[in-house]
Amino acid sequence: MSLQFHIEAQDDAARCGWVKLIRGEIQTPAFMPVGTSAAVKTVTVDEVRASGSQIILGNTFHLSLRPGIDIIGRHGGLHEFMRWSGPILTDSGGFQVWSLAKPRDITEQGVAFRSPFNGAAVFMGPEESMAIQNALGSDIAMVFDECTRYPAAREEAQLSMLRSLRWAKRCRDVHANEAQALFGIAQGGFYEDLRRESLDALVEMEFDGYALGGLSVGEPTADMYQILGEIVPYMPTGKPRYLMGVGKPEDLLAGVAAGIDLFDCVLPTRNARNGWLYTDGGIVKLKNAVHRSDTNPVEAQCPCPTCRQYSRSYLRHLYTTGEMLGPRLGTIHNLHFFQRLMASVRKEIKSKGFTAFHLDFLAQFQSGNPPVA
């Protein structure tokens, strides 16, 4: 049994529990930082762990091209290569190869594309993706799917969803790593019945968890929230539910409210590199001149190492002079912010206070008045 899942508490549709994997336990709802190329950008695994992160995401596409699975294999897998001893979820690479390939290079067999790093011809289909994820040795693998274009007409969304189902079946059939959980990914664009059809067929195949793909792809937020409301209630209650590529703090809370357990997104790390730091009062843009001589921390109550030590003024100085230490200290803060938010979410679900917390958070976070302190 590569994955166990248990729900400890529920507050309306919101659930709180844990996912147990061979390499450790994850408190859910959980946010997974993205470590695309075997590193959560700018920070060490110790700093990731100290932020409260229990699982990270690795990118099959990037890792298979650089450094390549031969090199990661020599280290005994991705965990040993990057020295992260906790659980790792790998995406399938489907999204990246799909976005690189010309339409005619996407066939029933898989996707042919050229490496953006050295121009080499590469082919990736369900079997290749599973083989790579097996070599990476991730704790949770994702099926290789086709990302449906947004917006997509009904017929296009349907054809794409059906192909993703056939690919999911091929992934299921070749997946033989008993130490690795495998998640299915429901597609179907923004058509409720297609989403339901996709989900039901995946449940029929039996996966260790179920994800929603093809959301947060540029659609209005209301459309994503509507799909969540329509589909999540039909996702198996006894398996982890994963909303891929989400997201903003407000979207995490919307997902939790709908009954989602797992999230991943580059936002906290990418925004940190740009000097955008999250606070309960909204995003603080550190490069702005208003912070020039502000000796206060980014967030007065934040217990992260960045806020405990450094002023906004100092951080702004690092960003504006191009010191790498700036993105790094910013990343530490943002990871702590996201993990602190998820810890609050779990606590509030347990005490049946999630709905009030959700509303309070939105009112403060979207007030547009981040504390200038």
The site for its own copies, by CB under 8 A, has a size of 35
CB of 130 closer than 8 Å to CB of 171: yes
Q: Which amino acid is at 96?
A: Q
- Give me the least distance between CB of 227 and its own copies, in Å please: 35
**Nearer to its own copies (CB atom), residue 66 or residue 154:** 66
Burial 203-232 (b: 16+ CB within 10 A, else e): beeebbbbbbbbbbbebeeeebbebbebbb
Under rule CB under 8 A, residue 71 binds its own copies:
yes
User: Is 46 assigned a catalytic role?
Assistant: no
**Alpha carbon distance 204, 181 (integer Å):** 17
User: Is 264 assigned a catalytic role?
Assistant: yes
**Nearer to its own copies (CB atom), residue 321 or residue 369:** 321
CB of 282 closer than 8 Å to CB of 366: yes
End-to-end alpha-carbon separation of the chain, Å?
A: 50
Beta bridge partners of 24: 21
Under rule CB under 8 A, residue 43 binds its own copies:
yes
**Nearer to its own copies (CB atom), residue 258 or residue 329:** 329
User: Site residues for its own copies, window 305-344 (CB under 8 A)?
Assistant: 309-311, 313-314, 316-318, 320-321, 323-325, 327-329
Under rule CB under 8 A, residue 115 binds its own copies:
no
- Give me the least distance between CB of 44 and its own copies, in Å please: 7
User: Site residues for its own copies, window 254-313 (CB under 8 A)?
Assistant: 292-293, 295, 309-311, 313
- Encoded tokens for 317: 């100085």
**Alpha carbon distance 62, 245 (integer Å):** 16
CB of 265 closer than 8 Å to CB of 245: yes
**Contact set with its own copies (CB under 8 A):** 37-39, 41-44, 66-67, 70-71, 74-75, 81-83, 292-293, 295, 309-311, 313-314, 316-318, 320-321, 323-325, 327-329
The residues carrying an active-site annotation are 91, 264
